[in-house]
């Protein structure tokens, strides 16, 4: 190690020691100064963890609810992604999918693609004296578990024969099971819907929800034939799930193309004309969720980062006060040979040390809050490495930028004037 390197190292160690001594001498003031940075960093970390957790939760929920290889066809398949004008235009242009269209699809492409109607109503369900309000009554085919990967924890799904014979059987969700049958298996038990007794043959696994009642765990799956007979007068078409059969050798896009061609033929859609129906795939759902989360990130993270700026202003003010209090000390150091760079380094290290320490404590606080939140949230929050690094780097930069002016002001003090300070 050269003499210049040893001198640089000695200067840095000396400046670091002086900075640590100054912070230890004013513990309460240091802690209050750190609060702004701690709150800012923890806010950024928590928001980042929430966005990351919601993204992962949406991915897993989409796979459970929608299926990974299935697609949906309907008059309007994605109303939440389009504006009012677009929705009205689709209602005018698109045709509803009814039983005749479903039969046509099965006749033309059913050897390679599985289909299931999907239609929904909200109704109260009873068992004995207990009423489950606002259950999601779904009319589907026996093929739905193969198409949408419906997993059961008890019993089975209804069969094609039960569907064809319009038998009063159903599969219920976990929330309905726990409400109506808290102490026993509901399989073989009956529930009453619209005055009819339905025998429960299976229970769907718990999917989880992001709210008090999202509808994911309160479904009652009925055979589509039964559903359409019960609510035929109010049925204006339904959605259709589709998926390539195992062994057909079709990708999701190829299967969707076959369905589109068949429906375009059915609706007499000419070349170049827009489809008279709407479609949605898991990829489009994921893309939509990612766009929403990206928008939330772009808006929320800068807002939470404002608290870091506030923390930086507090650090600057405290450092200016510190320079004023230690004017005589600076004069003594400069009279003993301390250079401009030595004084600048001392105060810069002090400011950076405060912000870095605040960043580390903020990250620790964020991790603690996320750990507690995970006990009550079904969406697993996770502070990822990029957000942790971002929070620490930004907090350190805040310290350097905030400390630069006070440090430069201290380094420019005239030693004679500084020694006269009281």
pLDDT in tens, 290-311: 777 778 777 777 777 777 777 7
- Assess whether 108 and 257 both reside in one domain: yes
| Domain annotation covers residue 283 | no
Please compute the mean of the pLDDT values over residues 352-378 and round it to a whole number.
Answer: 83
| Domain annotation covers residue 257 | yes
State how far the Cα of 282 lies from the Cα of 78, in Å rounded to an integer. 12
Where does residue 182 rank: exposed (0-12), middle (13-18), buried (19+ CB within 10 A)? Answer: exposed
State how far the Cα of 89 lies from the Cα of 144, in Å rounded to an integer. 30
pLDDT of residue 302: 76
* C-beta neighbour count of 249 within 10 angstroms: 9
- 422 pLDDT above the threshold of 70: no
- Most confidently predicted of 30-34, 195-199, 314-318, 358-362: 195-199
- 210 pLDDT above the threshold of 50: no
Domains in the chain, number: 2
- Assess whether 315 and 410 both reside in one domain: yes
pTM summary value = 0.65
pLDDT of residue 354: 81
- Assess whether 169 and 237 both reside in one domain: yes
Q: What is the pLDDT of residues 265-281, one digit of tens each?
A: 999 888 888 888 988 88
- Assess whether 313 and 212 both reside in one domain: no
- Assess whether 99 and 156 both reside in one domain: yes
pLDDT of residue 420: 61
Percent of the chain whose pLDDT exceeds 70: 88
- Assess whether 236 and 335 both reside in one domain: no
- 39 pLDDT above the threshold of 80: yes
CA distances, 169 to each of 81, 131, 418 (Å): 35, 19, 91
State how far the Cα of 312 lies from the Cα of 309, in Å rounded to an integer. 5
* Site of tokens 């989880």: 208
Percent of the chain whose pLDDT exceeds 90: 30
pLDDT of residue 106: 94
Which domain, by its residues, includes 182? 95-276
- Assess whether 162 and 295 both reside in one domain: no
- Most confidently predicted of 36-45, 223-232, 319-328: 223-232
Of the candidates 252, 276, 300, which is a domain's last residue?
276
Does residue 390 contact residue 44 with C-beta atoms inside 8 Å? yes
Query: What are the φ and ψ backbone dihedral angles of 72, each rounded to 5 degrees?
Result: -125, 140
- Assess whether 133 and 260 both reside in one domain: yes
- 152 pLDDT above the threshold of 80: yes
- 162 pLDDT above the threshold of 50: yes
- Assess whether 169 and 267 both reside in one domain: yes
- 109 pLDDT above the threshold of 90: yes
Please compute the mean of the pLDDT values over residues 125-150 and round it to a whole number.
Answer: 91
- Assess whether 268 and 138 both reside in one domain: yes
Q: Are strands 190-193 and 71-74 parallel, antiparallel or unpaired?
A: unpaired
| Domain annotation covers residue 88 | no
State how far the Cα of 160 lies from the Cα of 138, in Å rounded to an integer. 16
Beta bridge partners of 240: 73, 117
- Assess whether 257 and 382 both reside in one domain: no
- The answer to which of 113-122, 162-171, 298-307 has the lowest mean pLDDT is 298-307
| Domain annotation covers residue 281 | no
pLDDT of residue 362: 86
* C-beta neighbour count of 302 within 10 angstroms: 10
- Assess whether 263 and 141 both reside in one domain: yes
* One-letter-per-residue 3-state SS of 372-415: HHHCCCCCCCCCCHHHHHHHHHHHHHHHHHHHHHHHHHHHCCCH
- Most confidently predicted of 206-210, 223-227, 271-275: 223-227
| Domain annotation covers residue 84 | no
- 145 pLDDT above the threshold of 70: yes
- 421 pLDDT above the threshold of 60: no
| Domain annotation covers residue 296 | yes
* One-letter-per-residue 3-state SS of 74-119: ECCCCHHHCCHHHHHHHHHHCCCCCHHHHHHHHHHHCCCEEEEEEE
Copy the structure tokens of residue 36.
């702004």
Please compute the mean of the pLDDT values over residues 123-136 and round it to a whole number.
Answer: 92
Of the candidates 242, 276, 310, which is a domain's last residue?
276
| Domain annotation covers residue 357 | yes
| Domain annotation covers residue 375 | yes
Give long-range contacts, CB 8 A cutoff, 24+ apart: 208-211. 208/57, 208/61, 208/378, 209/378, 210/57, 210/378, 210/379
């Amino acid at each position: 190690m050269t003499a210049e390197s040893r001198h640089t190292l000695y200067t840095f160690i000396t400046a670091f020691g002086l900075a640590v001594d100054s912070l230890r001498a004013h513990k309460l003031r240091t802690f209050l100064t750190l609060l702004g940075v701690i709150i800012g960093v923890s806010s950024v970390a928590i928001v980042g963890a929430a966005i990351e957790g919601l993204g992962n939760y949406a991915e897993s929920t989409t796979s459970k609810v929608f299926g990974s290889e299935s697609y949906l066809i309907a008059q309007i398949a994605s109303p939440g992604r389009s504006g009012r004008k677009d929705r009205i235009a689709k209602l005018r242009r698109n045709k509803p999918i009814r039983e005749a269209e479903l039969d046509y699809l099965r006749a033309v492409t059913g050897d390679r693609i599985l289909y299931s109607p999907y239609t929904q109503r909200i109704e109260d369900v009873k068992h004995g004296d207990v009423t489950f309000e606002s259950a999601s009554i779904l009319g589907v085919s026996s093929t739905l578990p193969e198409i949408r990967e419906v997993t059961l924890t008890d019993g089975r799904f209804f069969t094609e024969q039960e569907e064809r014979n319009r038998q009063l059987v159903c599969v219920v969700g976990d929330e309905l099971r726990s409400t109506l049958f808290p102490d026993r298996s509901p399989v073989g038990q009956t529930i009453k819907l619209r005055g009819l007794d339905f025998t429960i043959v299976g229970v769907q696994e718990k999917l989880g929800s992001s709210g008090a009642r999202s509808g994911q765990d309160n479904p009652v799956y009925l055979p589509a034939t039964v559903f359409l007979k019960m609510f035929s007068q109010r049925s204006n078409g339904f959605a259709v799930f589709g998926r390539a059969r195992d062994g057909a050798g079709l990708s999701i896009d190829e299967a969707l193309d076959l369905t589109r061609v068949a429906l375009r033929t059915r609706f007499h859609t000419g070349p170049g004309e827009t489809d008279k129906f709407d479609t949605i795939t898991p990829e489009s759902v994921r893309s939509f969720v990612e766009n929403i989360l990206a928008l939330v990130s772009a808006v929320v993270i800068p807002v939470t980062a404002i608290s870091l700026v506030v923390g930086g202003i507090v650090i600057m003010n405290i450092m200016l006060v510190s320079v004023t209090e230690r004017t005589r000390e600076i004069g003594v150091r400069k009279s003993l040979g301390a250079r401009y760079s030595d004084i600048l380094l001392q105060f810069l290290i002090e400011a950076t040390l405060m912000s870095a320490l605040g960043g580390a404590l903020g990250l620790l606080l964020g991790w603690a809050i996320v750990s507690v939140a995970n006990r009550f949230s079904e969406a697993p929050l996770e502070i990822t490495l990029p957000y942790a690094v971002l929070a620490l780097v930004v907090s350190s930069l805040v310290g350097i930028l905030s400390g630069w002016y006070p440090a430069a002001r201290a380094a420019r003090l005239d030693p004679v004037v500084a020694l006269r300070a009281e």
